[in-house]
Amino acid sequence: MGDIRDDYVKGARENRKGNHTRKWVVWGAAACACLILGGALLLHPPRGDAPNPDRVQIASPILEVESVEEMERTLDFPVPVLDKAVDAYIVLVIDGYPESARIQYADQTTFNMKYGSGDISGIYGGTLEKEEEIGGVTVSLCRYEEIRYATWEKDGFTYSLSGGEGLEEDVASLIP
């Protein structure tokens, strides 16, 4: 044993210290990885095969109100009405914001109104029968099977009215 050179002994000691420090680094990194994975699993547990309906709460986008006055307060814009019996006043809420008005009349006529442009009739695949100027506004009069409907835009709003006979007269009474 006395024949071992001092530089070998010194090197062995330094090497041993390096291995000891390296083990702590490896174990520390493994512990951190376990903590991160465990936290991820706690925050986002694995999903089972069946959804849990208790965790799903989706608000209805349809808000039925009692009157046109309540509809106007909810929407913060005036809504024209026909002189007919009403079945329902409906406000459509999108992303928590009241966006459009729908009035369903007892005679099956339906009126829609919202900010913006485009066809909001909800009737797709109809054909344009004619365009007519009513009250200074160009109105598209369309048909889809037995349903007649009209769409128009005025003052930053888009409108639609679906109904049967007297559609043009009803549109004229809605355009101020």
Q: Above 70 in pLDDT, residue 170? A: yes
Backbone angles phi, psi at 59, to 5 degrees: -70, 145
The region of weakest confidence among 33-47, 82-96, 150-164 is: 33-47
Q: Which pTM value belongs to this model?
A: 0.66
When pLDDT is averaged across residues 147-165 and rounded to a whole number, the result is 92
Which of the listed CATH numbers 3.40.50, 3.30.70, 3.40.1000, 1.10.3470 matches domain 62-174? 3.40.1000
Q: What is the Rg, in whole angstroms, of the alpha carbon atoms belonging to the chain? A: 35
Inter-residue contact 142 to 148 (CB < 8 Å): yes
Sign of the C-alpha dihedral, residues 69, 70, 73, 75? negative
Inter-residue contact 152 to 175 (CB < 8 Å): yes
Q: List, for residues 14-39, the tens digit of each pLDDT value.
A: 555 555 566 666 677 677 666 676 66
Q: Above 90 in pLDDT, residue 85? A: yes
Q: List, for residues 37-59, the tens digit of each pLDDT value.
A: 666 656 665 665 666 666 666 77
**What mean pLDDT is reported for the chain?**
82
* The pair of three-digit structure tokens given for residue 57, joined into one six-digit string: 């709460």
Helices (H), 85-151: none
Could you tell me the residue ranges of all domains in the chain? 1-51, 62-174
* CB atoms near residue 6 (< 10 Å): 7
